[in-house]
Amino acid sequence: MEKRVIVFLVLSLAIIFGYEYLLKELGLLPQPTISEPAGPSTSDPSPSSSASPGAPTSHVPASKELATSKPASGDDRAQEASAKPSAIEVVEVETDLYRAKFTTRGAVLISWELKRYHSSSDGKSAVQLVRQGGKFAEPLTITTDDASHSKELSEGIYRVERDFTTLDQDHATGHMTFYYDNPATGVRLEKQLTFHADSYVVDITLKPSGLSGAVKVGLGTNFGVVDWGEGFIGSVGAASLIDDKIENDMPESETERKGSLKWVALQDKYFIAALIPKTNASALPKKQGDKLASTAVRLTVDSSGAPVGLQLFAGPKEYDTLQSLQIRLEDTIDFGWFLFGSWDMVRAVAKPIFYVLRYINDYTHNYGLTIILLTVIIKLLFVPLQYKSYTSMKKMQGIQPKVAAVQEKFKDDRERLNKELIKLYRDHKVNPVGGCLPMVLQMPVFISLFNILYMTIDLRQAPLGLWISDLSVQDPYYILPIIMGISMVVMQKIQPTTMDPTQAKIMLMLPALMTFLFINFPAGLVLYWLTNNVLTIVQQFVTDRFFFRAPAIAPAMDEQDGKK
């Protein structure tokens, strides 16, 4: 029985922990494809779109205007004459949370930097949520069902006004409005953006005129996706909440998704960008090859020209921040993952543990120390179960010679063998699965901790101290995984077992396998596992020293049998 359980656990851990590593080694993990255009992109917000191919590009300061030199037809000249101004500006908005840049060409977003989070590549530059260059579509692009109107709205030059210079505690809210007006086609659009100094949310109001049917607001290509290194927990790419059901899977086609739409989003493990419509809307996913490139919302426009509203959220997956929006955006942090699915039972266990983790950290201010203390607390809660498990394993070890004798005697009679084993267990009051049951009951807690430590942004770039500067990435010197492997060897040596010597030697491979799997895992996870192993060794020593000093069970039973 013990052999089967251990083999099952080894295989399960190998599948769970080795899946991503194997795909990465085989080159099967999807990577983002950046398609560079042959010439200058017409959607490039920088003035270099009118320059010759290969010319260097740069962002334009908000205080400067650059005239375009693109040749125009008669209709285009009439359109440009009526749409003022005829030059491109880049307007910057800065709060304590982010730094954003907009271009008056299409009134789109070209940069969104999170000031409180830094790139994992250098640890210094701010995280950039907008993917730039090539044929990437810019966030907040406005299009319609009419292709000609879509082009002028997405590429036209807007006039911009705003009522603020900086946003801070003294000036907490600011408005910036883009205006487009083309008398030649009768199309007008007013796009008002409302920024808040202490929020990642931007309120958007659209006032279209000369349009019918619907307007489409694009979220942009890969906006909100910082790291395409897809893990086996959580989703990278598109997500939406339609009819109170979260959809993470990429659609098979670019068909319009209708229903009660709360939001559409693009996300990775730590960051997310979402459009939140305030009126009836539908989702419009767009694919590029076999990957989802972008997504948008389709908003119906009233013939009277009444304004339509929506919100943009672009920021980190901070649980409290997402929960405060009260639209279930926090559910994109998947605490319920287990075996390639999401389970309510695991989620129900994980959330309380997550709250406890953060509560402890409010006092320690070090997530490494927090993980150690949380592991100690959980270990203490499971002491009674683990004591029962250890007692059962000791009893099984004591009667193992009798079990082997029965197996040898009735090896050719399977039915008689089972009956005799059951009788033997009953006579000695031994439960053969008693050592496994506590382990099964602890599995939801272990999986929940695994999800929390792997998924939450709280551990991103959180230091432990010494050589560990980021608990969300692997130990750069592999010190923690190696110590963890040594602790597993010690555990195997001191724990009771019913395996024969050959099986025991084979199981010595388990520490090496676990060390190999944990080398590429985040240091926070390895720290939890190592702490748990050390506590198990201490518990084993205390149990053997103070609770199991009596002779083994088997000799006592043999003496009783002899008296009979």
pLDDT in tens, 273-309: 999 999 888 887 766 555 555 777 888 776 566 889 9
**Alpha-carbon gap, residue 26 to 32, rounded angstroms:** 17
Measured distance CA(459)–CA(453) in Å, rounded = 7
**Tell me, what's the pLDDT at 359?**
94
3-state SS of 151-201 is HHHHHCECEEEECCCCCCCCCCEEEEEEEEEECCCCEEEEEEEEEECCCCE
pLDDT for position 542: 82
Give Cβ neighbours of residue 344 (< 8 Å, ≥ 6 apart). 336
Instruction: State the pLDDT at residue 290.
Output: 53
Encoded tokens for 513: 């396998």
Rounded Cα distance, 471 and 453, in Å: 9
**For position 20, what pLDDT does the model report?**
52
Residue pLDDT, tens place only, 234-274: 667 888 899 988 887 655 556 677 888 899 999 888 999 99
Mind giving me the DSSP string for 352-372? HHHHHHHHHHHHH--HHHHHH
Distances 381 to 25, 101, 248 between C-alpha atoms, Å: 39, 51, 36
Determine the angle formed by the axes of helices 344-364 and 367-381, rounding to 10 degrees.
Answer: 130
Contacts of 468 (CB under 8 A, 6+ apart): 368, 475, 480, 523, 527
Residue 162 makes CB contacts below 8 A (sequence gap 6+) with: 91, 174, 175, 176, 177
Mapping DSSP to helix (H, G, I), strand (E, B) and coil, where does residue 66 land? strand
Residues listed for the chain: 564
Radius of gyration from C-alpha coordinates of the chain: 31
Helices (H) and strands (E) counted in the chain, each on its own, are 15, 19
- Domains, the chain, ranges and CATH? 2-24+339-555 (no CATH), 31-330 (2.70.98.90)
* Residue 434 contacts residue 388 (beta carbons within 8 Å): yes
Instruction: Answer whether 67's CB lies under 8 Å from 161's CB.
Output: no
- 128 - beta bridge partners? 113
Which residues face 154 on adjacent strands? none
Give the residue from 490, 499, 483 showing the smallest Cα distance to 536. 490
Q: How is residue 446 written in tokens? A: 């272990």
3-state secondary structure of 275: strand
- What are the backbone dihedrals phi and psi of residue 456, each rounded to the nearest 5 degrees, phi first? -80, 140
Which residues of the chain are modeled with pLDDT < 50? 1-3, 5, 22-83, 550-564
Q: Shortest CA distance to 523 belongs to which of 367, 376, 377?
A: 367
| pTM for the predicted model, two decimal places | 0.76
Q: With H, G, I as helix, E, B as strand and everything else as coil, classify residue 94.
A: strand
Burial degree of 487 (CB within 10 A; 0-12, 13-18, 19+) = buried
Backbone region of residue 133 per phi and psi (left: phi > 0; alpha: psi in -120 to 50; beta: other values): left
pLDDT at residue number 297: 84
Quickly count: other Cβ atoms within 10 Å of residue 5's Cβ. 14
